[in-house]
Structure 1
Amino acid sequence: MEPIINQPVIETARFDLRPLRRSDKGLIELFAGDPRVALSTSSIPHPLPPGAIDAFITRSLAIPRVEDVWAMDGLKTGGAEVMGLISLTHLDRGQSEVGYWVAPAYWNSHLASEAVQALVAANPQGNQAMFASVFHDNPASAKVLTNAGFVYLGDAETYCLARDAAVPTWTYSRKL
């Protein structure tokens, strides 16, 4: 049996944002193992070490946890059960950090924009603000954030596991 997770399903017209399931492991490994996905995130190593996705799913199902993770599940409109992931990492003072990735097969389909906008509208953690950072070499992801009402705050650097380097980022915030 899978544990009951206290995070909501967030519906959009094309897909649902739903908590992860252990059965998502195969698709997450497939997509997160793609270097194009790993290189666009700070936290996915490349190549994926054995057990990395199992550990990630276990953390996402834990209570308590520091990060709520949703799968972009397109089954209701004929899409894949996992087309990408989106998360909110709990910060202090009623704030969270948004993170997301989309499988390359769904790039340029506005899936990330729709997911971020749905998560902001639902505000499942009751945040006062959300933050996000994107790598300078990923302007499409920056556009996702500005389309969802995020405002540019400034430049920074974030360590990227797949690149084994600090990477320049743009940081954005959205007051709720």
Structure 2
Amino acid sequence: MNAQSDECGQNGGRDGGDTPVLRTTRLILRAPRLEDTAAICEIANNRRIAEQTRRLPFPYGVEDARQWIEGTAGPAETKYLIVRASDGAILGAAGHGFMNGGEMEVGYWIGEPYWGNGFATEALRAVIDRIFSDGKLDQLFGRCRVSNRASRAVLVKCGFQLVGAGMSDSRVLSGLVPVEEFQLERSVWRSLKKWGAA
């Protein structure tokens, strides 16, 4: 499944930034807008989601959503809302940004009512396609908590390979949690695209 980038339909948060709109069979990935605040709060205000991410707070309120929407997203970080194309429902979020070592890392979360439908995999594939299609990067990284088997499965379905383990900050748990670290090489992505597996 290929992601389509809508270069003419560029939109961003508050400032009309340059986040491209990505389209898949069932999803639209676009920049968050202030008018999305209530819907984001409704789906993100979930401790089970926050415990599996590094940055999401719990409880998640209006000010948290506004800060995320209005936060700087430039060349170093791109954020998307994951929206169901059929009805405009906000399902979660995805994005990518550079880590301290200069490597590009991807991240995502899906609202609990939508778990188990393949939305995270579909969204992540769209983000990966967008990143690798510009030809600038040769590898991507992703992490998930050791206890998060669903997120691990998403990374593996997208072609990521386990390369290590470590510890990562958890905002909601106020400390370090064990994580698995994954890597996806451009050559693997290209092969999977040729085989129709990504």
| Aligned position for 1:115 | 123
Counterpart residue identity of residue 52, structure 2 = S
Query: What are the superposed Cα offsets for residues 43-74 of structure 1, whole Å, 9 maximum, x if unpaired?
Result: 11222366222111111xx3646321001111
**Structure 2 stretches of 5 or more lacking a match?**
1-12, 187-198
Report the TM-score, using the length of structure 2 for normalisation.
0.79
Aligned-residue sequence identity (percent) comes to 25
| Aligned position for 1:19 | 31
1:49-60 aligned within 5 A: 51-59=63-71
Compared CA separation, residues 96 and 144, structure 1 to 2 (3 A) = same
User: 2:76, 2:47 → 1: CA distance?
Assistant: 26
Q: CA RMSD in A?
A: 2.1
Compared CA separation, residues 77 and 64, structure 1 to 2 (3 A) = closer
CA contact (8 A) 1:94 1:129 kept: no
Query: What are the superposed Cα offsets for residues 106-144 of structure 1, whole Å, 9 maximum, x if unpaired?
Result: 100000011111111121764322111100110110010
**Structure 1 stretches of 5 or more lacking a match?**
none
Counterpart residue identity of residue 48, structure 2 = R
User: 1:3, 1:16 → 2: CA distance?
Assistant: 20
SS at match of 2:109: strand
Counterpart residue identity of residue 84, structure 1 = G
| Aligned position for 2:40 | 28
CA contact (8 A) 1:31 1:37 kept: no
Cα deviation, residue 92, structure 1: 7.1
| Aligned position for 1:83 | 91
Compared CA separation, residues 84 and 49, structure 1 to 2 (3 A) = closer
User: 1:22, 1:12 → 2: CA distance?
Assistant: 24
Counterpart residue identity of residue 78, structure 1 = D
| Aligned position for 1:130 | 140
User: 1:155, 1:95 → 2: CA distance?
Assistant: 16
User: 1:12, 1:103 → 2: CA distance?
Assistant: 18
Counterpart residue identity of residue 181, structure 2 = T
CA contact (8 A) 2:37 2:66 kept: yes
Compared CA separation, residues 155 and 35, structure 1 to 2 (3 A) = same
Report the TM-score, using the length of structure 1 for normalisation.
0.88
| Aligned position for 1:68 | 78
CA contact (8 A) 2:106 2:142 kept: yes
More displaced stretch, 134-143 vs 40-49: 40-49
Q: Highest relative contact order (Cα 8 Å, sep 6+), 1 or 2? A: 1
